[in-house]
Amino acid sequence: MDVKCSTRDSPLPPLQKTALRIYSNRFCPYAMRAMLVLEHKNLPYEAVNIHLKNKPSWYTEKNPLSKVPVIEKGDQIIYESTAVCEWLDEVYPYNRLTPTDPYIRARDRILLEYIGKITSLYYGKLKKKETLEEGITELQKHYQFFEDELARREGPLFGGSNPAMIDFFIWPFFERLPGLAKRDERIAVNQTAFPRLAKWYSAMYAVPAVKAIAFDADTHAAFLKTVDEGTPNFDLGL
């Protein structure tokens, strides 16, 4: 995954028929969902990182919405992170991530819908001085939602002792919050107020797929700074 971004004039690398290729971006939380599934299943893959502010001219052929992630296998192309992850889990059932129990699947689906509230705060109110206080108050309410759902489960992960797809769907957004918490520590999950969520964080950091590709809070904070300056450095650290 540690390859520099392809930009407007980069040629499309030739596709090997048997290889699994992901069009990704090291700092995209949606692309990270797919990367986590690839890592969790130990699948050999080739990553082509896309510069999101200066995309290769051929990229809309891969995804008409022009977003990452995209997965390509031979002549099969899938985009939208949840579709990509679900396809991977069905085609490569080793280390299965989707629960078989319809009730758990439905509860996981609720969490997937809910994570959008944290995503909106991350890209919105938590980033602006004028809305920060309001954002922090809302964030605590959202943390409580995940804390309550963890209380219904055995833990420490939503999937139990092993990660389920929902853990990988929501993790990339949670991973990014400590980077923002460098600006205001109230953004971080408070261990006393949310003990299960704090344990979930620790358990997720120990998952091999997360260990393989996660960035620490300092790296996320450094990347956010480049975003704020108007020139996101997607190749940061390479």
Catalytic center residues: 28
Which residue, among 73, 103, 106, has the nearest Cα to 90 in the 3D structure? 73
Which residue, among 21, 33, 19, has the nearest Cα to 112 in the 3D structure? 33
- Residue 16 contacts ligand GSH per CB under 6 A: no
Is the distance from CB of 150 to CB of 200 less than 8 angstroms?
yes
Shortest distance, CB of residue 124 to ligand GSH, whole angstroms? 14
Q: Which of residues 101-140 bind ligand GSH (CB under 6 A)?
A: none
Name which of 12 and 151 has its Cβ closer to ligand GSH.
Answer: 12
- Residue 30 contacts ligand GSH per CB under 6 A: yes
Name which of 167 and 198 has its Cβ closer to ligand GSH.
Answer: 167
Number of residues that bind ligand GSH (CB under 6 A): 12
Q: Which of residues 81-100 bind ligand GSH (CB under 6 A)?
A: 81-82
Shortest distance, CB of residue 30 to ligand GSH, whole angstroms? 4
Name which of 30 and 174 has its Cβ closer to ligand GSH.
Answer: 30
- Residue 162 contacts ligand GSH per CB under 6 A: no
Is the distance from CB of 210 to CB of 162 less than 8 angstroms?
no
Region binding ligand GSH by CB under 6 A among candidate stretches 11-19, 27-35, 163-171, 214-222: 27-35
Name which of 156 and 172 has its Cβ closer to ligand GSH.
Answer: 172
Shortest distance, CB of residue 229 to ligand GSH, whole angstroms? 18
- Residue 236 contacts ligand GSH per CB under 6 A: no
Residue 16 makes CB contacts below 8 A (sequence gap 6+) with 46
- Residue 37 contacts ligand GSH per CB under 6 A: no
**Long-range CB pairs of 77-83, under 8 A, 24+ apart, other chains included:** 81/30, 81/31, 81/33, 81/34, 81/169, 82/33, 82/112, 82/169
The SS3 of residue 157 is strand
Residue of the chain from 5, 20, 22, 28 that contacts ligand GSH (CB under 6 A): 28
Alpha carbon distance 220, 238 (integer Å): 14
Is the distance from CB of 201 to CB of 189 less than 8 angstroms?
yes
Residue of the chain from 51, 67, 125, 220 that contacts ligand GSH (CB under 6 A): 67
How far from 154 is each of 49, 167, 191, CA to CA, in Å?
37, 14, 18
Q: Which of residues 39-58 bind ligand GSH (CB under 6 A)?
A: 52
Q: Interior CA angle at 52 toward 5 and 69, to 5°?
A: 85
- Residue 202 contacts ligand GSH per CB under 6 A: no
What is the DSSP secondary-structure string of 75-100?
A: TEEEESHHHHHHHHHHHS-TT--S-S
- Given the rule CB under 6 A, which residues bind ligand GSH? 25, 28-30, 52, 66-69, 80-82
